[in-house]
Amino acid sequence: MAIELKNVTHVYQARVEMNIVALNNIDLTIEDGELLALIGHTGSGKSTLAQHLNGLLKPTSGKVLIDGEDINENRSKYRFEVGLVFQYPEYQLFEETVKKDIAFGPKNMGLTEDEINQRVKSAMELVGLNYEEIGEKSPFELSGGQMRRVALAGVLAMQPRYLVLDEPTAGLDPKGRYYLLNDIKRLHEQGTTIVIISHSMDDVAWLAERIAVMERGRIVKTGSPKDIFSQYSFLSDMGLDVPQASELSYKLIEKGVPIKNCFKLEELADELQNLLKNGGKTGA
Amino acid sequence: MSETIFSLRDVNYIYDHGDEYALSEINLDINKGEFVAILGHNGSGKSTLAKLLNGLFIPTDGTVLVNNMDTQESKFIWDIRKCAGMVFQNPDNQIVATIVRDDVAFGLENIGIPTEEMPERIDKALKAVNMLEFIDSAPHMLSGGQKQRVAIAGILAMLPEALILDESTAMLDPSGRKEVLETVKKLNRENGITVIWITHFMQEAVEADRVLVMNDGKISLDGTPKQVFSDGRKIRSFGLDVPPMARLSEELINRGIVLPNGILTVDDMQREVLKLWQSNLKM
């Protein structure tokens, strides 16, 4: 059970003559239940890749398989299996009330009224929005963070097995960001497979189990956050941010300080405590 | 004694459709040449404050003076806008022309600058944001950071004294963010332009001379970045956070390691850790 991309290449029609290949021979397997982060600078192909995962874009060549079946052979079947949350999804809210907006997807699935209501309720619960309090409100009365969560609930109400989030925290304030990241973490713990695209390495450090680094339409590296974030010069050469904990541990190690490379602040605090209080002699 | 550019006295602001105060009892002076970051969660009043600073909004009560011109008085409005230009969040919403040159010229036309003066002003403005080589480019071919720099140039061409940037990096990637922040820092440092920098990124506020924290329509904290970020609990009670290195410093202090106040950057922290480690080695 997985999403597999096999030799996926995508060339945008309008750009054929310019020879800009958005995706170049991608091989990637997204395992069931994992939380994968796609990182890479703007234009590296992350969003294009995301839009292949539910058949919104078709590969120019190559295949996207779910459970071994080519999703482009049976797109309607897989449309609801993979929920795609775009960048700034709150721009797509349009209904008069929060409830109606979230119900839009399930309605399209042809579910009964009861089922739809049930799904709206549980989707709102999943993202921490109170059904009684804001269900009847206009989505446009809400804060930016709440609007983003309504948009996410609209996708969750279709109960996708896979959730693909493109820059889910962009533009949110710290609180909105914190709530949303917690929602994502909770969904993952409940078994949803998640692919997240983010420029925020702090978010990625906090959430991801595996990271794929994209550059110029290719996946140039995959690994655990520990592997990836310990390669400070590789990432900064690519113009990517590095979590500050990684940057600090890298710089200290360069100066000969005997600590391990850490990408999480708490881990680094442990290392430094050990170094400064015990002279770094224990544990190593 | 430094001169003030923005002076707000007992300012309240209520939006037309509501009865709640979006801003209340704001008293604030900003000096010429200052780099002021404004933080606050959504709905705290940051953007409302920004819009009062160049007369886009007129206070419900109180006065807002920009270079001693009262924003209530409509005869000043063009001079105020010329003095304090605003850059918004979405780079795609503020580009109006199909060529960079024309986009920068747009503001100049609005304020009635003679055509023959324009080329020099446009060149200078684009040079200041390091975008001169794109003068004949189509804006839609530019990156987000480049578009924001064109938007800044459009304001610079009007020879403003202050730039107000309302979350102008929120929609940019990390390199675009850095690009815009560096540009603005340079304009502040080299041209003495006053900068009002509204952001959700705590790390960006570290670069400012002064940080204001807004909460519930009021200014809750006002000080240097070191002062403002020294109390993590307080900052978090306003729905914000401290920069990562300040958080690490809190963690270490909680674990009994003695560190000075006000560590905000990786370089600060590196220096302090090395100092402690080397003195431990000698013992």
Per-residue pLDDT, averaged over B97-106, amounts to 94
Interface test with A, best of B147, B173, B240, B279 (most A CBs within 10 A): B173
**Per-residue pLDDT for B44 more than 70?**
yes
Structural domain contains residue B197? yes
Q: Say yes or no: B183 and B247 in one domain.
A: no
pLDDT digit string, tens, across residues B50-62: 999 999 999 999 9
Question: Biggest alpha carbon distance in chain B?
Answer: 73
* Percent above pLDDT 90 for chain B: 82
Q: Say yes or no: B147 and B272 in one domain.
A: no
Q: Say yes or no: B139 and B248 in one domain.
A: no
Which amino acid belongs to residue B83? C
Nearest CA-CA distance, residue B24 and chain A, Å? 20
Q: Say yes or no: B259 and B204 in one domain.
A: no
**Per-residue pLDDT for B1 more than 60?**
no
Boundaries of domain holding B83: 4-225
Quote the CA–CA distance of A279 and B16 in Å, as a whole number. 63
Number of structural domains in chain B: 2
Alpha carbon separation from A147 to A192, B17, B41, B98 (Å, rounded): 22, 20, 15, 32
Q: Which pLDDT belongs to residue A249?
A: 95
Q: B262: helix, coil or strand?
A: coil
pLDDT digit string, tens, across residues A244-255: 999 999 999 999
**Is B247 within 8 Å of A265 when comparing Cβ atoms?**
yes
Q: Say yes or no: B38 and B173 in one domain.
A: yes
CA angle A117, A121, A126 (to 5 degrees): 145
**H, E, C per residue of chain A:** CEEEEEEEEEECHHHHHHCCEEEEEEEEEEECCCEEEEECCCCCCHHHHHHHCCCCCCCCEEEEEECCEEHHHCHHHHHCCEEEECCCHHHHCCCCCHHHHHHHHHHHCCCCHHHHHHHHHHHHHHCCCCHHHHCCCCHHHCCHHHHHHHHHHHHHCCCCCEEEEECCCCCCCHHHHHHHHHHHHHHHHCCCEEEEECCCHHHHHHHCCEEEEEECCEEEEEECHHHHHCCHHHHHHCCCCCCHHHHHHHHHHHCCCCCCCCCCHHHHHHHHHHHHHHCCCCCC
CA angle B210, B214, B216 (to 5 degrees): 165
Q: Say yes or no: B129 and B215 in one domain.
A: yes
Q: Say yes or no: B273 and B187 in one domain.
A: no
> In whole numbers, what is the pLDDT of chain B averaged over residues?
93
**Is B251 within 8 Å of A266 when comparing Cβ atoms?**
yes
**Is B200 within 8 Å of A173 when comparing Cβ atoms?**
yes
**Is B144 within 8 Å of A239 when comparing Cβ atoms?**
no
Domain edges within chain A: 243-284
* Percent above pLDDT 70 for chain B: 100
Out of A145, A244, A257, name the one closest to residue B277 (CB).
Answer: A257
Q: Say yes or no: B91 and B137 in one domain.
A: yes
Structural domain contains residue B234? no
Structural domain contains residue B231? no
**Per-residue pLDDT for B247 more than 50?**
yes
**Per-residue pLDDT for A16 more than 60?**
no
**Per-residue pLDDT for A175 more than 60?**
yes
The length of chain B, given as a count of residues: 283
Out of B43, B143, B173, name the one closest to residue A199 (CB).
Answer: B173
Nearest CA-CA distance, residue A222 and chain B, Å? 21
Q: Residue A210, Cα to own-chain centre: how many angstroms?
A: 11
Contact B150, B180 (CB under 8 A): no
Q: Which pLDDT belongs to residue B19?
A: 79
**Is B280 within 8 Å of A199 when comparing Cβ atoms?**
no
Out of B143, B171, B257, name the one closest to residue A170 (CB).
Answer: B171
**Per-residue pLDDT for B49 more than 90?**
yes
**Taking CA atoms, what residue in A is nearest to B40?**
A173
- The C-alpha torsion from B98 through B101 and B104 to B107, rounded to 10°, is -80
Interface test with B, best of A140, A166, A215, A248 (most B CBs within 10 A): A248
Q: Give the domain CATH number at B212.
A: 3.40.50.300
> In whole numbers, what is the pLDDT of chain A averaged over residues?
91
pLDDT-derived band at A280 (thresholds 50, 70, 90) equals low
Out of A172, A248, A279, name the one closest to residue B269 (CB).
Answer: A248
Quote the CA–CA distance of B168 and B94 in Å, as a whole number. 11
pTM of full prediction above 0.80: yes
Q: Which pLDDT belongs to residue B274?
A: 96
Count of pairs with CB atoms under 8 A, one residue in A, one in B: 103
CA angle B86, B89, B93 (to 5 degrees): 90
Q: Say yes or no: B179 and B280 in one domain.
A: no
Q: Say yes or no: B115 and B248 in one domain.
A: no
Q: Say yes or no: B129 and B37 in one domain.
A: yes
Nearest CA-CA distance, residue A206 and chain B, Å? 13
pLDDT digit string, tens, across residues A190-219: 999 999 999 999 899 999 999 999 999 999
pLDDT-derived band at B140 (thresholds 50, 70, 90) equals confident
**Is A176 within 8 Å of B266 when comparing Cβ atoms?**
no
Nearest CA-CA distance, residue A150 and chain B, Å? 16
pLDDT-derived band at A130 (thresholds 50, 70, 90) equals very high
**Is B269 within 8 Å of A239 when comparing Cβ atoms?**
no
**Is A174 within 8 Å of B241 when comparing Cβ atoms?**
yes
Structural domain contains residue B163? yes
**Per-residue pLDDT for A279 more than 80?**
no
Q: Which pLDDT belongs to residue B16?
A: 81
Q: Which pLDDT belongs to residue A284?
A: 39
Q: Say yes or no: B129 and B248 in one domain.
A: no
B43 and chain A: CB distance < 8 Å anywhere? yes
Structural domain contains residue B127? yes
Quick one: which H or E segment has residue B247? Answer: helix B244-254
Structural domain contains residue B233? no
- The C-alpha torsion from A147 through A152 and A158 to A163, rounded to 10°, is 170
Q: Which pLDDT belongs to residue A282?
A: 46
B269 and chain A: CB distance < 8 Å anywhere? yes
B10 and chain A: CB distance < 8 Å anywhere? no
Q: Which pLDDT belongs to residue A19?
A: 63
Quote the CA–CA distance of A206 and B171 in Å, as a whole number. 21
**Is A173 within 8 Å of B256 when comparing Cβ atoms?**
no
Quick one: which H or E segment has residue B121? Answer: helix B118-128
Quick one: which H or E segment has residue B277? Answer: helix B266-282
Per-residue pLDDT, averaged over B198-216, amounts to 95
- Looking up tokens 């909105």, which residue turns up? A176
Q: Mean pLDDT lowest for which of A54-63, A274-283, B137-146, B249-258?
A: A274-283
